[in-house]
Amino acid sequence: MLQANRSAAAGRLRRALLVTAGSLAAVGSTALAPAAYAHATPLSLASPSLQDAGRSGDHLTVTVRDAGAGADGTYELSCHPAGGDHPDADGACAALDRGTRWGKDTFAPVPQGSLCTMQYGGAATARVTGIWAGRPVDARFDRGDGCEIARWDRLVPLLPDLRQTGRP
């Protein structure tokens, strides 16, 4: 009888811990270290738990400089539903949705110590601020080396596509 009570108590404790950990993760708590869940399989945005987690608050301000005529400026972007004065709000929101993964920062900088090709993609810079997937965003972008160029290109059309135009 005592063994059965211990077993039942242990089961309740495990469920309580799982529910608590799941609740913390669902609200985007920073209490969990990224390494604790970085190995987990990423959830797609089609997953109800990520899709419904306050996504209507996604709003970004994108400021682009030195990208050339027609690309420079400050744009507002809202997603879920797409809106704002961004030139391609639907495409920008779709690109962000494709790049959003549980436990990963969509706007993360290039890790220090990365080996990057020594190529120069031009003087263009961008700053993205606001809220994405319930988290604050304040990210800067440039095209100073191969890693930075690839990081920029992953966010096209949120950021202007400088690959096609040949602009500096």
Amino acid identity at 95 = A
Q: What percent of the chain has pLDDT over 70?
A: 64
Q: Find the mean pLDDT for residues 35-57.
A: 42
Domain count across the chain: 2
Q: Which residue has the higher pLDDT, 163 or 17?
A: 163
Of the given ranges (1-10, 76-85, 87-96, 156-165), which has the lowest mean pLDDT? 1-10
Residues 13, 96 within the same domain? no
With tokens 């549980």, the residue in question is 102
List pLDDT tens digits, range 71-80. 999 999 999 9
Residues 49, 79 within the same domain? yes
Residues 27, 53 within the same domain? no
Q: What is the CATH number of the domain that holds 143?
A: 3.30.350
Residues 54, 122 within the same domain? yes
- Is 141:63 a contact under the CB 8 Å cutoff? no
Distance CA 84, CA 42 (A): 29
Residues 82, 4 within the same domain? no
Q: How far is CA 109 from CA 49, 51, 87, 104, 164, in A?
A: 26, 24, 24, 11, 24
Whether pTM exceeds 0.95: no
- Is residue 142 situated within a structural domain? yes
- Is residue 110 situated within a structural domain? yes
Q: What percent of the chain has pLDDT over 90?
A: 59
Phi-psi region of 44 (alpha: psi -120 to 50; beta: other; left: phi over 0): beta
Residues 73, 140 within the same domain? yes
Report residue 56's pLDDT band, with 50, 70 and 90 as the boundaries.
low
- Is 77:131 a contact under the CB 8 Å cutoff? no
- Is residue 160 situated within a structural domain? no
Q: Find the mean pLDDT for residues 121-140.
A: 96
- Identify the domain containing residue 132 by its residue range: 45-154
Residues 49, 25 within the same domain? no
Nearest to 140 by CA among 45, 63, 68, 50: 63
Inform me whether the pLDDT recorded for 67 exceeds 50: yes
Nearest to 76 by CA among 95, 89, 94, 65: 89
Which two three-digit tokens encode residue 12?
């309740």
- pLDDT, residue 57, reads 83
Which of helix, strand or coil describes residue 65? strand
Report residue 8's pLDDT band, with 50, 70 and 90 as the boundaries.
low
* Length of the chain (residues): 168
Q: How far is CA 17 from CA 1, 7, 10, 48, 92, in A?
A: 25, 15, 11, 22, 38
Inform me whether the pLDDT recorded for 49 exceeds 60: no
- pLDDT, residue 116, reads 97
- Is residue 24 situated within a structural domain? yes
Residues 104, 80 within the same domain? yes
